[in-house]
Amino acid sequence: MRRRKFLKLTGLSTGAVLTGGSGFLISLSGCKKEHHLGLMTKPVLVNEGKFSNLLTFNAQAGVNQTLTAQATTANIMGALIPVLGYQPNSLLGPTFRVKNGNAVNVLLQNNLQEHTNIHWHGLKIPALMDGHPDQLANAGGTFRYQFTVNQRAGLSWYHPHPHENTGKQVFKGLAGLFIINDAEEAALNLPSGQFEIPLMIQDKRISDSGITYNPSMEEVMSGYMGESILVNGVSSPFTEVETRFYRLRILNASNARIYNLAFSNNSDMIILGNDGGLLKNPVTVKDILIGPGERLDILINFSGLVIGTELFLFSKEFTNGGAAQGKQTFKIMKFKVTTTVTDMFSVPANLSSINTIPASTALRTRLFDISNAMEHHGYAMNDGMTMRHRINGKLFDGNRLDESVTANTNEIWVFDNSKGDEPHPMHLHGVFFQVLERNGGRGSKIASENGWKDTVLLMPGETVRVLVPFENNTGKFVFHCHNLEHEDDGMMLQYQLN
């Protein structure tokens, strides 16, 4: 962005000094102390397509796999454009479907011109396999991931995690699904095969020259969002359905965009699971928020609809999402009823056994200030501070350990966005947690926050307490905002589990 335009948008005079990188320096003695990071941002509105593109599904991957991070091309909106992918001629990567107990062996071949790696988001695996930002494959190099899956059924995913390049690499196409199955889930006889539909939702900026990624300073503040919604790499898709229950496995794989999911005919959505797998009991909602990195496992019933009926999964407007989020209702994909059948499936009353961990078992409480409001940190706007996304006033430093945690203990972590004006989806590597409570903003947990989570969304004005059982998976991990521009800007810290 040109300096003069930026100053005009922010209302600053030419006495302000801009820095390089994604931060900027405020040096005006007259600047108000209550200035927040998100005030200059605005929404990126979605352009709906014709919903005439057939929804497709990525290839299935086995437990032994080579993933090649590469520049390639993909057919998006009827044109071949440059993208990044883990397989040739395709956006995204193959979908892993494994069983609890399987040994996984993945070779990452890096054919990019920069370093990359793979973070297995939602997998509890050894620290050296997790995809920490300092575990990288150099350009032209390789990295072998070997681990045994030792956790309950659920929908996870994988994506790059090189600090300061995560947002770009994910936005341009590097991501994929990782589905775990187990005996408990199988016993429920949930819709499967063609009746279980994985949906990876992303927004992109698309031009003839490819997927555009060039965030301005304002877009680093708000997160980088696109005008085109893709599902499984397909723009404005449709799929044909029968008059029966379907299981939708939903991932918000967008860099920053939050979705308020609902159906155009006001159908019930029955939530079966979230980040960490099945809930204890199903929960019925009409709409549900899902932030970047979060997953939803839902049932939708198309019974009783006549052939030819068309309905849409869409995102509704929502409030308190900051200046850039929730300002528009838009369609995501179309479902077209084409076949009438008799469906004998009934929704189980009980899904899984989940033990609630008492807060009283926590040995320690840690507070993490994520508001990024300058006066909240006690920073005067004329003291030479660089406005960046921070946790407890700190930017990510790979040479610094921020928290030391004892294995096999429970802790309460408190994420405080009470004075913030931007949403922050907070993600912990290496663990799942239980959401205890939310104060301010929405004021309570939402339906998808029961059971086990690895990412929790905080809206402006909210504080969330989570109970984290740290087991014996020792090593160094990170935790961060899963708005990928915020993460790349430094909103990430490290913890060591000893």
- Residue 17: the pLDDT is 34
d(CA 180, CA 175): 17
Q: What Cα–Cα distance (Å) separates residue 26 from each residue in 41, 323, 387, 418, 454?
A: 17, 21, 8, 23, 35
CB-CB neighbours of 308 under 10 Å:
8
Q: Is residue 16 pLDDT above 90, yes or no?
A: no
Q: Is residue 27 pLDDT above 60, yes or no?
A: no
- Residue 373: the pLDDT is 64
pLDDT digits (tens, 9 = 90+) for 268-281: 999 999 999 999 99
pLDDT digits (tens, 9 = 90+) for 126-146: 999 999 999 999 999 999 999
Answer whether 485's CB lies under 8 Å from 215's CB. Answer: yes
User: Quick one: pLDDT band at residue 78, thresholds 50, 70, 90?
Assistant: confident
User: Quick one: pLDDT band at residue 23, thresholds 50, 70, 90?
Assistant: very low
Answer whether 203's CB lies under 8 Å from 73's CB. Answer: no
User: Quick one: pLDDT band at residue 386, thresholds 50, 70, 90?
Assistant: low
Residues whose CB falls within 8 Å of the CB of residue 418, separated by 6 or more in sequence, listed in order: 371, 439, 440, 461, 462, 463
- Residue 42: the pLDDT is 87
How crowded is the C-beta side of 453, counted as CA atoms within 13 Å? Answer: 24
| Tokens representing residue 191 in the block | 């819709």
- Residue 378: the pLDDT is 39
Residues composing the chain: 498
Percent of the chain with pLDDT over 70: 89
Longest pairwise C-alpha distance within the chain: 72
Residues whose CB falls within 8 Å of the CB of residue 116, separated by 6 or more in sequence, listed in order: 69, 108, 110, 136, 137, 160, 162, 165, 169, 174
- Residue 40: the pLDDT is 60
Average pLDDT over residues 193-203: 98
**Degrees (nearest 5) of the Cα angle 292, 125, 137?**
75
Residues whose CB falls within 8 Å of the CB of residue 33, separated by 6 or more in sequence, listed in order: 374, 375, 380, 381
How, if at all, do strands 295-301 and 310-315 pair? unpaired
Q: Is residue 255 pLDDT above 90, yes or no?
A: yes
Q: Is residue 8 pLDDT above 90, yes or no?
A: no
d(CA 456, CA 426): 5
Q: Is residue 384 pLDDT above 90, yes or no?
A: no
Answer whether 472's CB lies under 8 Å from 408's CB. Answer: yes
pLDDT digits (tens, 9 = 90+) for 148-196: 999 999 999 999 999 999 999 999 999 999 999 999 999 999 999 999 9
Average pLDDT over residues 10-31: 36
Residues whose CB falls within 8 Å of the CB of residue 229, separated by 6 or more in sequence, listed in order: 46, 48, 201, 202, 203, 235, 236, 330, 332
pLDDT digits (tens, 9 = 90+) for 49-70: 999 999 999 999 999 999 999 9
- Residue 474: the pLDDT is 97
Q: What Cα–Cα distance (Å) separates residue 304 from each residue in 266, 339, 344?
A: 14, 11, 13
Percent of the chain with pLDDT over 90: 87
Query: Which letter, b or e, does each residue of 78-91 get, where b requires 16 or more Cβ atoms within 10 Å of its Cβ?
Result: eeebebbbbbeebb
d(CA 474, CA 468): 14
pLDDT digits (tens, 9 = 90+) for 92-135: 999 999 999 999 999 999 999 999 999 999 999 999 999 999 99
User: Quick one: pLDDT band at residue 208, thresholds 50, 70, 90?
Assistant: confident
Q: Which residue has the higher pLDDT, 30 or 226?
A: 226
Answer whether 395's CB lies under 8 Å from 487's CB. Answer: no
Q: Judge if pTM exceeds 0.95.
A: no
CB-CB neighbours of 355 under 10 Å:
8
Q: What Cα–Cα distance (Å) separates residue 2 from each residue in 5, 81, 263?
A: 5, 28, 42
Residues whose CB falls within 8 Å of the CB of residue 455, separated by 6 or more in sequence, listed in order: 275, 291, 292, 293, 294, 425, 426, 427, 428, 482
Q: Which residue has the higher pLDDT, 302 or 372?
A: 302
Sign of CA dihedral 282, 283, 284, 285: negative
| Tokens representing residue 33 in the block | 């102390």
Domains and CATH numbers, the chain: 56-186 (2.60.40.420), 193-339 (2.60.40.420), 359-497 (2.60.40.420)
| Tokens representing residue 75 in the block | 């057919």
User: Quick one: pLDDT band at residue 3, thresholds 50, 70, 90?
Assistant: very low
Q: Which residue has the higher pLDDT, 245 or 381?
A: 245
- Residue 387: the pLDDT is 74
**Taking all residues of the chain, what is their mean pLDDT, rounded to a whole number?**
91
pLDDT digits (tens, 9 = 90+) for 417-457: 999 999 999 999 999 999 999 999 999 999 999 999 999 99
Q: Which of 200, 275, 283 is nearest to 425 (CA)?
A: 275
